[in-house]
Amino acid sequence: MTDTDTTRAIGRVAVVTGGSRGIGRAVAHRLGSGGAAVVVGYVAGAAAAEEAVSAITAAGGRAIAVQADITDEDAVAALFDQAEETFGGVDVVVNAAGRMALSPIADLDLAVLDQLHRTNVRGTFVVAQQAARRLRAGGSFVGFSSSVVGTQFPEYGAYAASKGAVEAMTMVLARELRGRDVTVNTVAPGPTATDLFLEGKTEEQVEALAMAPPLQRLGTPEDIAEVVAFLTSPEGHWVNGQVLRANGGMI
């Protein structure tokens, strides 16, 4: 990392939902190490959120943790209020919060489907709505999809459908923000070594997924965080309305 990389976000403020673990935590740490003040949004697990904050501040950054369920519009508005009150505004919004449920379509409990779509679709919409209202000029919104929208693996029907909705919002919001100097993009990771991904999978399943990309490994949260850092940087500001499949070369 060059000196420019570590200072280019100084003075900027980033809101990262799902920032207490996995990819969201890596994103929060990467943006914090780049000089941004970071609001670590989380829905549960206050200790993990505070650990994420401590890691950022220990490295010389500024960060706070704020609890908010992304499906609750009042809680999300309060999260953005706290970002503005503490740090003066919002320049970057990354919605890394999400939910996964795997099942054949024929067998999925519809209550689980409703919970999944409430978080992944409504939650993304609620966060995007606040981002659209509050991002300052030069700012960026990054949502999260999944490469499974393209790979279409069995048992991912409900999850892929919810992430397809996120992709559908991307260009629409980018066009709605015409003239604001704000970019909107979505990152669609492939198999990435997070607790959410590894949960419930056998070693054989994990190995098979690791060998699927031509690079023959799982992605890491840090791999994805670097993509987000680029998209939210001045260098990445010409990329707008896109879905970027960060997956090591999977279809």
Give the whole-angstrom CA distance, residue 184 versus residue 243.
9
pLDDT in tens, 182-191: 999 999 999 9
Contact 135, 180 (CB under 8 A): yes
Catalytic (active site) residue 159: yes
What are the residue boundaries of the structural domains of the chain, listed by start? Answer: 3-244
DSSP per residue, 105-164: GGG--HHHHHHHHIIIIIIHHHHHHHHHHHPPTT-EEEEE--THHHH--TT-HHHHHHHH
Contact 15, 92 (CB under 8 A): yes
Q: Which of 159, 173, 224, 247 is catalytic?
A: 159
Per residue of the chain (251 residues), give pLDDT as tens. 444 454 456 789 999 999 999 999 999 999 999 999 999 999 999 999 999 999 999 999 999 999 999 999 999 999 999 999 999 999 999 999 999 999 999 999 999 999 999 999 999 999 999 999 999 999 999 999 999 999 999 999 999 999 999 999 999 999 999 999 999 999 999 999 998 788 878 999 999 999 999 999 999 999 999 999 999 999 999 999 999 999 999 97
Hey, what CATH topology would domain 3-244 get? Rossmann fold (3.40.50)
pLDDT in tens, 140-179: 999 999 999 999 999 999 999 999 999 999 999 999 999 9
Question: pTM of whole model > 0.75?
Answer: yes
Token output for 229: 């850092």
Q: Computed over its alpha carbons, how large is the radius of gyration of the chain?
A: 17
Residue with tokens 């023959």: 216
CB-neighbour burial class of residue 145 (10 A; exposed 0-12, middle 13-18, buried 19+): buried
- Cβ–Cβ contacts within 10 Å for residue 137, how many? 9
Q: What are phi and psi of 56, to 5 degrees?
A: -70, -45
